[in-house]
Structure 1
Amino acid sequence: CNVIGTAGGTGATIEFAGEAIESLSMEARMSISNMAIEAGARAGIIAPDEVTFEYLKGRPMCPSGEEWDKAVEYWKTLKTDEGATFDKTVVIESKDIAPTVTWGTSPQDAIPVSGIIPRIDEEGHDEARQAAVARSLDYIGLEGGTQIEGTPIEKVFIGSCTNGRIEDIREVAAIAIGRKVADGVHAMVVPGSGLVKHQAEMEGLDKILIEAGFDWREPGCSMCLAMNPDKLKPQERCASTSNRNFEGRQGGGGRTHLMSPSMAAAAAVSGGIADVRKFPYLGTEEEDPRTRNVDVRSNVFTTESYVSPGAVISPPAPYLASQGEAAAAGGPAGLPKFNVLTGVAAPLDIQNIDTDMIIPKEFLKTIQRAGLGFAAFAELRYENAEEVATIGADVAKNIPDFVLNKPGYENTQILIAGDNFGCGSSREHAPWSINDMGIRCIISTSFADIFYNNCINNGMLPVTLPRDQIQLLLEDAGTPGTEITVDLENSKVIRPNGDEFSFEIDAFKKHCLLNGLDKIGLTLDKEDKIIAFEKERSENYPWLDGASLKVPEKIKMYPGAGIWDKVAA
């Protein structure tokens, strides 16, 4: 457990390889790649092979005939060459991976289900890590040095886009056969999509689960995001297959333990965190849901045809022509320039501040950048964050101990933060809200890649410095009203006593911030090159045009989908 950690992939793309990866279904591969973001990585990739090609073949917008053959031939060349050199190689023996569960409030806070919850003063914990462990244990309501197995739970959530696949529901059904959900436990199963729900019901999995006492639900985010009534109450403990376990992720004050679908099913029937290896299959070989339909494609398109919704991506029209001469000549960039910033600095020394903590999901119902300053750090900032999300800032009840609520920090412009700031989901609302409350610079030891780039794209400067320098800045910022200077042109942070810390930043990103250049303006400057590239791509890789040029007039979908109007086949 915790071999890579929440920041182990920062600045990199993670390629997953090996026999264990090659044996996975396409759905499982997509889940693993998707979750590379939880290691701070820019992306996760797995080499295409026959599993990939079989999954794609015959699907809408995929090439066919000669183009399919050419596409497969090209895709086969994408595999990493033997002997290729990586910046870092991590080897994990899959046979050594025990069923795993999280004990804290970060995906890296994981141990084997038979393991012991870490103590605050565990060997190897520095001061910052000790503070993070103490905060996690206090929130999650557990004690270091005790066993995680047997911890009672009140809720079970099996679902999410990552763990609501048909193969997941089959595993859960296999545990459910011959068993009942424990008294006092509400266990919900939420399929990952309408197609998955339909297929599960075709296989009779819903009946198995309902018979065992599980709550069979409609597909959706449900308790994974907790934006609707499916949310945990304060101090309610949940065995969850969600993607993340940050504070408040599944409801304010809710306690989330991440685990696999089969582990969550074992928790449901036992009433506590349990080792799935102690729950053997109780049904017959013929009715085993894990093997009975193993060869059935999980995204079935059947014989009924429906009118297509049209192109997913419309072929681009000449944009500048409709924008007038000012736009054609370049026009204003639209971002404030960042050169030298001198402003009040505030300390927020918490490790792994994730985007859920920066702006809770209740505030994500807008696409407007302005006006979100009141939402930044809402669950740390307000006693009634959910009420503020519903009614507005006028009803806010400040938490006096939160640093940005203290006298002297009202006009904070620079935030001195703990390690791995901005991890978690990629919501751009996070930098929007911080920027809107007046903070234009964040200084930390490290940032999640997507959050870092989102800051740059919004005219904000994320600065990376070593921990010892961060510690000195935290001490400076601990005095209310203290001002720090950030000089982007000379790449320096200047303390109140005149000491200077140099930082590194990509030359192009620096140029964009200094000149207030945004992505739209930069893209429009290269419109001719983009058009030329797309033309060349269409000639050399025609199968990539499917999303815009090859959408079928009719598309096959399972009966009763209710998505498009039905037509004669």
Structure 2
Amino acid sequence: MRITTLGDLPLGVTSKDLVMHIIGVIGTAGGTGHVIEYAGEAIRKLSMEGRMTVCNMSIEAGARAGMIAPDDITFEYLKGRPMAPTGANWEKALAYWKTLPSDEGAAYDTEVEVKAADIAPQVTWGTSPQDVCAITEVVPDPKNATDANQAAAITRALDYMGLKAGTKMEDVSVDKVFIGSCTNGRIEDLREVAAVAKGHKVSSSVHAMIVPGSGLVKKQAEAEGLDAIFKEAGFDWREPGCSMCLAMNADRLKPQERCASTSNRNFEGRQGRGGRTHLVSPAMAAAAAIKGRLADVRQFGLAKRAFSTRYSGRRHFSTSRRTGMQAFTKLAGIAAPLPIMNVDTDLIIPKLFLKTIKRTGLGKNLFDEVRYTPDGAENPEFVLNKDPWRSSQILISGENFGCGSSREHAPWALLDFGIRVVVAPSFADIFFNNCFKNGILPIVLPQEQVDSLMEDAAQGSELSVDLVSQTILRPNGEAVPFSVDEFRKHCLLNGLDDIGLTLQKADQIASFEEKRAVAMPWL
């Protein structure tokens, strides 16, 4: 997929506003099955850090990844950084990198155009990154939805967020402001905040925290004197970490507390059980902290945006692996109905339970936010707490199931509970792939067929899923066919995971690595 921006971004509109607007246009499932390439004038004029923000939130658009063709801004950013090639190897790498941009006239599976000049500062109103509008707009009315499913989703979101249709976004007060996260915790983001905050004070009704994205960012911000501006304005200058982005520690919202956040996700309970999150840019977050409500940063009269960076940092990756998985051939049982659109991975397994790399023990916390009450008791209204669905191994749900972060804990939790099949009109791409890698069969069917299976499930009827014949047998005798990739089918039927498949190619991999070391010595 190529998304082309037409024209320049107006003053006061940042890379975060741009990507939020894009997600609002294509939806959180719009990029499913794609890698998004961003192009156009507005993209070309972004700094590397602005480009990182855009590509970072490609996941929220449902894509596997986001990319921007390398250019002089890219090369200047890389030159002299730790691990960057030097001397002759730099010249070789540079020559190779210049061959990477897509060819003129290249064909894309999907093309989207966005008028950058028409974008205003953005803010989310609901519980999904696609629930977004300009700060100058109002909370949408479910009556104006295009269909019943969308109306139900808007109603659910407004109920959770405590908002009424027609309310001006600028009239929504906030209790907390969080500035940080992998999306907006870089030095450039902090400079934007400082530009807004200088000469102002945080509202007495707001607790505003700033959490730099790394120790290097914190060190540079303090060297530039940004921390002094923050402290003078009344911001809480913190140590680096994830913090309130996903409420893994004490930095979390209380029920019904409202936060303007520079993070990338605003799902139910993301920043604390019952907490209400509005996604914004760093500049917009600073404006909200000062005003005590969601506010248009353009009212602060800033002449320009602070887009530049000169800090160095290293990338670090970690991974965990599992060996073996249970084969899947046929499964019969009572399916559990979960008629919710955009079931995100935060809802499937909240962040509090992500501190383990064990695959077992997560089932008891599956859907924890809605399965249990705040005091830990079972929520009697949740389907998996009711008979006959307490031990269901088949789940029927709404579109874009598994959206949000790519945490593998989500399929682990489903599997540990006992769920081996999930049926939905669509899935988030990464979650979809993770299911197959962990022995779960995700089945995509048209909405009408999902609705029929949902009715069967609601009645407590038994369904039978046969992977060999690729059918779901309904209680009325109807066999509903489904599609599955032949290779993935083979792996499920034989219980093959990635490690076993990779080890079969060990000799070829070793040979490839030897050849690449000669051809690309800078890697």
- Structure 1 residue identity aligned to 2:26: I
Please name the residue that 2:15 is paired with: none
> The residue matched to 1:435 in structure 2 has which SS?
helix
Please name the residue that 1:325 is paired with: none
Match of 1:96 among 105, 118, 143: 118
Matches within 5 A, 1:100-499: 100-124=122-146, 126-281=147-302, 297-299=310-312, 334-384=324-374, 396-480=376-460, 482-499=461-478
> The residue matched to 2:508 in structure 1 has which SS?
helix
Relative to the length of structure 2, the TM-score reads 0.92
- Structure 2 residue identity aligned to 1:11: G
> The residue matched to 2:443 in structure 1 has which SS?
strand
Give 1:300 shift. Answer: 7.2
Change (3 A) 1:409 1:102: same
Give 1:354 shift. Answer: 0.5
Give 1:295 shift. Answer: 5.8
Write the distance in 1 (CA, Å) between the matches of 2:293 and 2:391: 47
Write the distance in 2 (CA, Å) between the matches of 1:312 and 1:452: 22
Question: 5+ unaligned residues in a row in structure 2: which ranges?
Answer: 1-20
> The residue matched to 1:91 in structure 2 has which SS?
strand
> The residue matched to 1:400 in structure 2 has which SS?
coil
Matched-pair contact (CA < 8 Å) for 2:81–2:312 = no
Write the distance in 1 (CA, Å) between the matches of 2:69 and 2:207: 40
| 1:6 partnered with 2:28 | yes
Write the distance in 1 (CA, Å) between the matches of 2:308 and 2:46: 13
> The residue matched to 2:413 in structure 1 has which SS?
helix
Please name the residue that 1:31 is paired with: 53
> The residue matched to 2:25 in structure 1 has which SS?
coil
Write the distance in 1 (CA, Å) between the matches of 2:317 and 2:145: 53
Q: Deviations over 1:67-126 (max 9, x none)?
A: 1111111111110011111111111121111111000000000011111211112141x1
Write the distance in 2 (CA, Å) between the matches of 1:527 and 1:473: 43
Write the distance in 1 (CA, Å) between the matches of 2:145 and 2:52: 36
Please name the residue that 1:71 is paired with: 93
Matched-pair contact (CA < 8 Å) for 1:175–1:280 = no
Matched-pair contact (CA < 8 Å) for 2:188–2:308 = no
- Structure 2 residue identity aligned to 1:344: I
Give 1:534 shift. Answer: 0.8
Change (3 A) 1:95 1:295: closer
Write the distance in 1 (CA, Å) between the matches of 2:29 and 2:418: 27
Matched-pair contact (CA < 8 Å) for 1:343–1:485 = yes
Give 1:524 shift. Answer: 0.4
Give 1:171 shift. Answer: 1.0
Matched-pair contact (CA < 8 Å) for 1:195–1:299 = yes
Matched-pair contact (CA < 8 Å) for 1:415–1:439 = yes
> The residue matched to 1:537 in structure 2 has which SS?
helix
- Structure 2 residue identity aligned to 1:342: A
Write the distance in 1 (CA, Å) between the matches of 2:482 and 2:83: 47
Please, which moves more after superposition, 352-361 or 163-172? 163-172
Give 1:312 shift. Answer: 8.2
Change (3 A) 1:118 1:312: closer
- Structure 1 residue identity aligned to 2:291: S
- Structure 1 residue identity aligned to 2:479: E
> The residue matched to 1:408 in structure 2 has which SS?
coil
Q: Give the superposed CA RMSD.
A: 1.8
| 1:19 partnered with 2:41 | yes
Write the distance in 1 (CA, Å) between the matches of 2:484 and 2:154: 31
Give 1:28 shift. Answer: 1.6
Change (3 A) 1:179 1:333: closer
Please name the residue that 2:5 is paired with: none
Identity percentage over the alignment?
Answer: 61
> The residue matched to 1:532 in structure 2 has which SS?
helix
| 1:525 partnered with 2:504 | yes
Relative to the length of structure 1, the TM-score reads 0.85
Matched-pair contact (CA < 8 Å) for 1:333–1:517 = no
Matches within 5 A, 1:504-523: 504-523=483-502
Write the distance in 2 (CA, Å) between the matches of 1:461 and 1:171: 45
Write the distance in 2 (CA, Å) between the matches of 1:265 and 1:489: 56
Give 1:233 shift. Answer: 0.6
Write the distance in 1 (CA, Å) between the matches of 2:144 and 2:212: 39
Matched-pair contact (CA < 8 Å) for 2:188–2:309 = no
Write the distance in 1 (CA, Å) between the matches of 2:289 and 2:391: 48
Matches within 5 A, 1:28-67: 28-67=50-89
Write the distance in 1 (CA, Å) between the matches of 2:275 and 2:240: 22
Q: Deviations over 1:231-266 (max 9, x none)?
A: 111000111111100001011101100011111111
Question: 5+ unaligned residues in a row in structure 1: which ranges?
Answer: 302-308, 314-331, 388-395, 545-569
> The residue matched to 1:27 in structure 2 has which SS?
helix
Runs of 4 or more above 6 Å deviation: none
Give 1:426 shift. Answer: 0.7
Matched-pair contact (CA < 8 Å) for 1:333–1:516 = no
Q: Deviations over 1:398-437 (max 9, x none)?
A: 0000001011112201000111000000110100010111
Change (3 A) 1:338 1:300: closer
Alignment: residue pair count: 498
Give 1:146 shift. Answer: 2.1
Please name the residue that 1:84 is paired with: 106
Please name the residue that 1:320 is paired with: none
Change (3 A) 1:300 1:453: closer
- Structure 1 residue identity aligned to 2:47: S
Matched-pair contact (CA < 8 Å) for 1:416–1:473 = yes
- Structure 2 residue identity aligned to 1:231: R
